[in-house]
Amino acid sequence: MRRNVVKTILFGMMMGTLGLPASANEAWPSRPIRFVIPQGPGSGNDVLARSFAEQLGKELNQTIIVENRPGANGVLAARTLLSQPNDGYTMFMAGVSNLSWNPHLYSDLPYDPIEDFDGVAIFADTPFVSIISPTLGLKTFDEFRQFVQNNPGKYSFASAGIGNSTHLSSELIMRKVGFDMQHVPFNGPGSTTSVMSGDTPFMTTVPGSVTPMIQSGKLVAIAVAGKKRLDSLPDVPTYKELGYDITVPGWYSIVMKKGTDPQIIGKLNAAVNKVLQTEEMKKGLAFQSLQAVHTKPEDVRAYIERDALGWADLIQELGIKQ
């Protein structure tokens, strides 16, 4: 009888082990992790992803491979993630536009940010900065405001595409300040070049890619759409200082495919928060005017829902849903 009992226990233990998911059996991560980003090589987000992947790889003692999947405002990158198993070996660097705004921009969006993804962490945030062409000969926001309001409909503003954060942020400013300007969307870096030349003399964008051009005089910064001034541009006031309630969310998150082992998500979240405290990562974020954000996995959903509510009305008003 004892032998039968022992056999039964051993058999049960064996079957229980066999029934566990692979992620619980192996010491995750036991092989390289794919880090999918929705922008192309050389972009500001690509620089962020690669510096972050390097530090995160050191913390996890594993290689993290950055994979560029630009196009369709993050849809191609999201599809790449969803085409892979939910085993913790593919993660997606998704921004606010990919998760909060796309559901209101696309009627046939092939993913649901809440139903299809598991949040790992919000890890960085960036304010936005409004820039103008030096060809205008203007230096301050008030000068530019008077100039535009004296020439309604005559000038235009650039963006990196319809529904992009650079588009929606400028549309918000148009309404809050009372500007009458035409929108000219670009694909790729042409938007910044157009502002420099004066063809589309206004744009609101993330500071990481344009700060050197501002500091060299190729662009003029007139206002920051954030909670405080930028350390890299200390003389540029915020919109709130100028009397306008204008802030633009610019957060970056890590998400995985729905159903990923919660233990993997917890381990990755802890690693992300630890990496954000390293001197290397602090320097990398400061270089791009980014601010570290320490969060829990469940905070990702809260951020998604908060900024979906705040911007859905603007998207509907613009009539840009595709």
- Where are the domains positioned within the chain? 8-126+250-318, 128-225
Look at residue 259 and tell me whether its pLDDT is greater than 60.
Answer: yes
Look at residue 13 and tell me whether its pLDDT is greater than 80.
Answer: no
Average pLDDT in the chain: 90
pLDDT attached to residue 18: 41
Q: What is the rounded CA–CA span in Å between residue 109 and residue 79?
A: 10
Per-residue pLDDT reduced to its tens digit, 59-100: 999 999 999 999 888 999 999 999 999 999 999 999 999 999
DSSP 42-87: TSHHHHHHHHHHHHHHHHHTS-EEEEE---GGGHHHHHHHHTS-SS
pLDDT attached to residue 8: 42
Q: Count CB neighbours of 111 within 10 A.
A: 21
The reply to whether 8-126+250-318 and 128-225 are identical in fold is yes
pLDDT attached to residue 6: 42
CATH architecture of the domain covering 128-225: 3-Layer(aba) Sandwich (3.40)
Look at residue 24 and tell me whether its pLDDT is greater than 60.
Answer: no
Dihedral sign for Cα 273, 274, 275, 281, please. Answer: positive
Look at residue 20 and tell me whether its pLDDT is greater than 60.
Answer: no
Q: Classify domain 8-126+250-318 at the CATH class level.
A: alpha beta
Per-residue pLDDT reduced to its tens digit, 264-298: 999 999 999 999 999 999 999 998 889 999 999 99
Per-residue pLDDT reduced to its tens digit, 31-42: 999 999 998 888
Per-residue pLDDT reduced to its tens digit, 155-214: 999 998 888 899 999 999 999 999 999 999 987 678 999 999 999 999 999 998 899 999
pLDDT attached to residue 26: 65
The pTM score is: 0.83
Q: What is the rounded CA–CA span in Å between residue 78 and residue 188?
A: 19
